[in-house]
Amino acid sequence: MNFPCPKCEQSGISIKDKFRVGYWRETHCAQCNARLCANPWFLAPFSLVYMWLLATCAFLFMFEDVGAMAIVYAVIGWLVIDILNIMLIPMSVMRNRNPEEPNGENPAERQA
């Protein structure tokens, strides 16, 4: 199962790459080599959800009598958030660092 690239709209992003961008990494489209990242406007609030989950489970562990179950909740919650992250967070095209790169956006070429 691959994800569509926001630039060329072909499915050039593997689920592994989509997972990586969910942790503020960048990746490249296998079809058009565009530099891609997760849209920070969606990813930033999502990162807060991870923090909230850890805080909630730490709270349960310390103040409620759930014991090791708090760790189980944290792991399950983390996996659920990861899946939502992969399914829901849209990707953005980043500007190419090196304009000489093949398939990169070369502003000189675009004017021609």
- Which residues of this chain interact with Zn ion, rule CB under 5 A? 5, 7-8, 12, 29, 31-32, 34
Assess contact for 61 and 70: CB atoms under 8 A: yes
Cβ closer to Zn ion: 28 or 73?
Answer: 28
For Zn ion, the closer of residues 8 and 81 by Cβ is 8
Nearer to Zn ion, 65 or 109 (CB): 109
Long-range contacts of 46-49 (CB under 8 A, 24+ apart): 46/22, 46/81, 46/84, 46/85, 46/89, 49/81
Q: How far is the CB of 7 from Zn ion (least distance, A)?
A: 5
Taking the complex as a whole, how short is the minimal distance between the CB of residue 9 and Zn ion, in angstroms?
7
